[in-house]
Amino acid sequence: MFFNALQLEFKPRYEWAFGEKIAHPETTARAESILTAVAEAHEDFELREPSKIPAGALRGLHSLQLLNLYATAEQIPEDTDFYPTVFPKLKRGEGDPNNIRQAGAFCFDSGTPLNAKTLSAATWSAACARSAATSLRKGAKLAYALSRPPGHHAQRDLFGGYCYFNNSGVAAKVLRRAGRVVVLDIDFHHGNGTQSLFLRDDKVLTISLHGDPREYFPFFCGFASEVGEAKGRGYNMNLVLESKIDGAHYIKALEAHAVPAIEAFEPDYLVLAAGLDAYERDPIGDFKLSTEDFFRVGERIGSLGIPVAAIQEGGYFTEHLGRNAVALLRGLRAGLGLAD
Ligand SMILES: [Zn+2]
């Protein structure tokens, strides 16, 4: 498991949601909950520092302007956050990344703040994902990145959905150099950023299981009709699941649609975008998975026999987030035949 303490220095405090100022769900307590649970399960998991991520690894996935904007945000006074509120309909590449007031040109929602610590935390979060992928390339069967802030909503030149760098995309890109990659996104929300990064790629199959985008973030995409473009056509799958789905039906959907697609693709590596907001008590999700269900989901995915880089995405019922992460990881270990 990979984590760096600097990821805890970024502290979003509030969010504008449907006209109201609410406590921000993406807190440092999320990572702390996972760290505590993993420490208690130390016989199964080892905590490691990620290697520093080279700038080139981020530039391969994100625009220079987005990186420049995060550098501009480092000048924001301490304990101050900037929330974009104006989102101009510009052409790609327009907007001044050196002017924080134009951050809306590089962002798609109002709930994802920038401050002086954003770049450092997001960079280490991406570094965790890269290190997890690198350990798979060195022969590990399972690696976990405690990536926080999360990443699967971040696009090449846009941040949003609490995401700045696309951590699952970083892992997929590292693994793609060594073989075929499937990115399986089990976060409650559609992985729109990851989809957009690999939409035209036939070496990376992206599959996302999520709540209906007509009702839930990110609202504008995540529909079954989005199947990839150009040579990537047929290599993107969106499984829109019904509201309040329980674990048994969730696994049935996984079995019926995702598993055959993965097996037909014959991937060398699996990147699991491991959001845990499908949990029954999650404040912003609407599925009914229990802690035991996360074990079963992990076990089924592990039993595919493909090396897994699990990258932490969402999950906002902080009190149980750690135990849900451990359940998923123990399921993966069991499925991969790594458990004693
Ligand atoms: Zn989510």
pLDDT tens digits for range 159-180:
999 999 999 999 999 999 999 9
What's the mean pLDDT in 284-290? 97
153 alpha carbon – ligand 1 mean position (Å): 9
pLDDT tens digits for range 129-169:
999 999 999 999 999 999 999 999 999 999 999 999 999 99
pLDDT at 75: 96
H-helix segments, 138-284? 167-176, 192-197, 247-253, 259-265
Q: Nearest-CA neighbor of 66 among 199, 176, 157, 180? A: 157
Catalytic residue among 153, 189, 190, 210: 153
318 alpha carbon – ligand 1 mean position (Å): 13
Does 260 score more than 80 pLDDT? yes
Determine phi and psi for 301, rounding to 5 degrees. Answer: -65, -45
Rounded Cα distance between 86 and 83, Å, is 9
Cis, peptide link before residue 260, omega less than 30° from 0? no
**Which residues lie near ion ligand 1 (Cβ < 5 Å)?**
187-189, 275, 277, 314
What's the mean pLDDT in 230-242? 98
219 alpha carbon – ligand 1 mean position (Å): 13
Does 88 score more than 90 pLDDT? no
Cis, peptide link before residue 307, omega less than 30° from 0? no
189 alpha carbon – ligand 1 mean position (Å): 4
Q: What is the CATH number of domain 5-55+116-336?
A: 3.40.800.20
Q: Which residues, other chains included, contact 182 with Cβ-Cβ below 8 Å and sequence gap of 6+?
A: 204, 205, 206, 207, 262, 265, 267, 269, 270, 271, 306
Confidence of residue 15 (pLDDT cuts 50, 70, 90): confident
pLDDT tens digits for range 183-224:
999 999 999 999 999 999 999 999 999 999 999 999 999 999
159 alpha carbon – ligand 1 mean position (Å): 14
Does 263 score more than 80 pLDDT? yes
Does 340 score more than 80 pLDDT? no
Does 19 score more than 80 pLDDT? no
Percentage of the chain with pLDDT > 70? Answer: 100
* Domain residue spans of the chain: 5-55+116-336
Does 18 score more than 80 pLDDT? no
Active site residue 153: yes
| Residues 239, 245, 251, 255, CA torsion sign | negative
